[in-house]
Amino acid sequence: MTSPKDLTTVPTTKLQKVLADAGLGSRRALEKWIQAGRVKIDGETASLGDRVSSHQAISVDGREVVHGEVTAPRILIMNKALGTEVSRKSATGRKTVFSELPNLQTGRWISVGRLDVGTTGLLLFTNHGELAHKLMHPSTNIDREYAVRVRSLIDDETRETMLRGVVLDGVTCRFTDIQYFDGRGSNHWYHVCLMEGRNREVRRLFESQQILVSRLKRVRFGPFVLRNFIPAGRVFEIHADEVNAVCKMLDMPLRARSHTRERSDGKVRSSLLPYPNLDLPNWYSEDF
C-alpha cells in the first residue's frame, strides 16, 4: 500500500468516491462495504477514510475494480408498482424493482432513496454513485412531492401542526407544503411536499394526527416528474441533455451519453420540470 509520504506527492481521492465513480453504489452503501472489510487496496483491507491514487489496485470481494475513468451518468425513472420491493433480492419472495431495469455492461443501478412496499410512483435510479449521493443529500435542498389519499378532510389546525413539525423518534419532521387536490365521499386526495425522505415519514406524519393514509404515490422528486406515459412497473430513461442539465444544477462535472430513442415524430419525451438552478435543454417543452 502506498505510504503516507508517497501520498503527499501523488494526487489521491477518497476511496468511497472512487468506488462510487466506478458505478458500484452510493457513497453511504460503499462506506458500509469498507467497514465490513469487503474492500482491499493493494491487497490489504481498506479502512474508512483511506485515500487512493490511480496507480493503486482496488478490489471488492476479491474482484478488481477498474478505476480512473468516471462512469458516464445515466438516470432512469420508474413508476413503481404496488407490492414491489426496493431491494436487489427479496427475503419474502416479492418482486423487486431491480428485476425490471436494463442490463449494464459495467457497474450497477443504484436507487435514489427508497419507497416502501405499499407506496407507488416515482423512483429514480442511476449508474453513478456520486450522482446518487448528491440527489439524496439534504444539502442539495431537493424536495419530494407525494399524492396522499386519506379518509377525511384535514382541518386548518391539523394542517398547521404538520407544517410546523412533529417530533417523531426524537427528530422533527414536517411538510413544507400541503394542498388539497381532489376528492369525494370519504376519500380525499392531498399533495404534500417534504425535503427529506426518511422511512415512512409521510405516513407517520399523518398517523401522528390520527389520520390513516389509504394510498400513497410519489409524483415528483425535485425536477423529475412522473409522466403519464410511464405505466406502472415500467422504466423510462432520461435524455442525455437532461442528465447533463441535472448534473450542472448539482455542480457536478459529468457528461452523459445518449441511450434513449426519439419518438417516431422526432420529438424527445421529457420528465423534467422547471426548477431552481436548472437550465433546461433548448428543445424542452412541457407539452412533451
DSSP 89-142: S-SSS--BGGGGSPP-SSS--EEES---TT-EEEEEEES-HHHHHHHH-GGG--
pLDDT tens string 43-59: 899 999 899 887 788 88
pLDDT band at 9 (very low <50, low <70, confident <90, very high): low
pTM of structure: 0.80
- Catalytic, out of 42, 116, 155, 177: 116
For residues 121-146, average pLDDT: 93
Q: Are 76 and 35 in contact (CB under 8 A)?
A: no
- In percent, how much of the chain has pLDDT > 70? 92
Q: What's the pLDDT score for residue 19?
A: 85
For residues 134-162, average pLDDT: 94
pLDDT band at 288 (very low <50, low <70, confident <90, very high): low
pLDDT tens string 114-126: 999 999 999 999 9
Give the three cell numbers for residue 185.
365521499
Distance CA 73, CA 94 (A): 29
For residues 75-91, average pLDDT: 92
Q: What b-and-e string marks burial along 182-196, b requiring 16 or more CB atoms within 10 Å of the CB?
A: eeeeeebbbbbebee
Q: What's the pLDDT score for residue 265?
A: 62
- Smallest Cα–Cα separation from 24: which of 133, 180, 144, 172? 133
61 is catalytic: no
Distance from the Cα of residue 267 to its chain's centroid: 26
pLDDT tens string 175-226: 999 999 998 888 999 999 999 878 889 999 999 999 999 999 999 999 999 9
Q: What's the pLDDT score for residue 215?
A: 96
Q: Tell me how far CA of residue 240 lies from CA of 72, 100, 203, in angstroms.
A: 10, 21, 35
pLDDT band at 28 (very low <50, low <70, confident <90, very high): confident
pLDDT reading at 264 higher than 60: no
Distance CA 243, CA 238 (A): 6
pLDDT band at 3 (very low <50, low <70, confident <90, very high): very low
Q: What's the pLDDT score for residue 7?
A: 47
